[in-house]
């Protein structure tokens, strides 16, 4: 089938694409989200997601995209640049069917490494944490009481597709705590009060590293549920790190500790 060429900014298909990028409510109602970029879309499809519509700019890319059941549209360069978030984009944007993962869907190996984030608001921070979780071979990321939806285009872009490579679940803090406790996974909360330096705490067993927002930290429900409190020493004049930087430090400490215990070393996250 020959792709339909879209040449007008008033085309309803293009207008829906733009609206899906901007409105989380429409993403929920339509059950669709937007993925931009060849690499991100490849990770998305490899993770089992299904593309509903694919928008390609032939003036930018000569690649031929074959996605089962997907409707393919061609955009002029002018319209593609209007729709694209990134200036250095690769000429492809897709509308993808959303899929909700629950805690019970997580397939965890022995001694899993899990990143838990409570109330993180900025999509860019969450995306960066997901990249670190992927790099460290974390088994899952649990986002508690999220203030942004997991299919926010800024989050997908910041994660460079890690939202698709690391199983990620959104739920309440209470649900996450019940899930972790039932599986004997040790809860380590990153906080300043009553804490031990992070590298003095055992992370070779099943471990959930829990972090809150930079401004307010974790709520009391997590502090009460914790098996241990950990902190990153601050040797300068400031008293906090960006949440994504802190997450990377703590995740890689878990990797370091597990290097001499092969059965505990994180591997590629299971789908």
The predicted structure's pLDDT at residue 89: 64
Q: Summarize pLDDT for 50-104 with one digit per residue, the tens.
A: 999 999 998 888 766 666 668 999 999 999 988 987 656 689 999 999 988 999 9
CATH architecture of 103-264: 3-Layer(aba) Sandwich (3.40)
Percent of the chain with pLDDT over 90: 65
CA distance 184 to 2: 55
CA distance 30 to 21: 12
Q: Where are the alpha helices (DSSP H) in the chain?
A: 12-22, 24-30, 38-46, 77-83, 123-135, 153-159, 162-165, 173-182, 220-225, 243-258
CA distance 98 to 196: 40
CA distance 231 to 225: 17
From the candidate CATH numbers 3.30.470.10, 3.30.1330.30, 2.40.110.10, 2.120.10.70, the one assigned to the domain spanning 4-97: 3.30.1330.30
Report the interhelical angle of 243-258 vs 123-135 (nearest 10°): 10
* Residue-range domain boundaries for the chain: 4-97, 103-264
Query: pLDDT-based confidence at 1, cuts 50/70/90?
Result: low
pTM of the model: 0.88
Q: Summarize pLDDT for 175-198 with one digit per residue, the tens.
A: 999 999 999 999 999 987 788 999
């Amino acid at each position: 089938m020959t792709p339909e060429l879209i040449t007008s900014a008033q085309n309803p298909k293009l207008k829906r694409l733009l609206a899906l990028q901007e409105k989380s409510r429409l993403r929920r109602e339509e059950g669709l989200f937007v993925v931009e970029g060849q690499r991100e879309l490849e990770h998305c499809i490899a993770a089992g997601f299904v593309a509903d519509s694919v928008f390609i700019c032939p003036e930018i890319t000569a690649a031929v995209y074959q996605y089962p059941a997907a409707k393919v549209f061609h955009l002029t360069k002018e319209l593609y640049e209007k729709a694209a978030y990134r200036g250095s984009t690769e000429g492809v944007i897709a509308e993808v069917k959303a899929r909700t993962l629950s805690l019970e869907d997580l397939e965890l190996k022995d001694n899993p490494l899990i990143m838990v984030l409570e109330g993180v608001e900025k999509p860019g921070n969450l995306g960066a944490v997901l990249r670190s979780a992927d790099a460290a071979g974390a088994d899952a990321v649990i986002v508690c009481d999220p203030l942004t939806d997991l299919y926010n285009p800024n989050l997908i872009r910041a994660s460079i597709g890690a939202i698709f490579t690391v199983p990620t679940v959104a739920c309440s803090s209470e649900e996450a705590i019940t899930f972790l406790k039932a599986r004997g996974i040790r809860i380590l909360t990153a906080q300043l009060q009553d804490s031990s330096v992070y590298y003095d705490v055992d992370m070779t067993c099943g471990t959930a590293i829990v972090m809150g927002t930079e401004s307010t930290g974790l709520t009391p429900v997590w502090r009460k549920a914790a098996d241990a409190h950990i902190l990153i020493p601050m040797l300068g004049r400031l008293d906090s790190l960006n949440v994504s930087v802190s997450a990377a430090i703590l995740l890689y400490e878990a990797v370091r500790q597990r290097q001499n215990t092969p059965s505990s070393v994180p591997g590629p996250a299971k789908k």
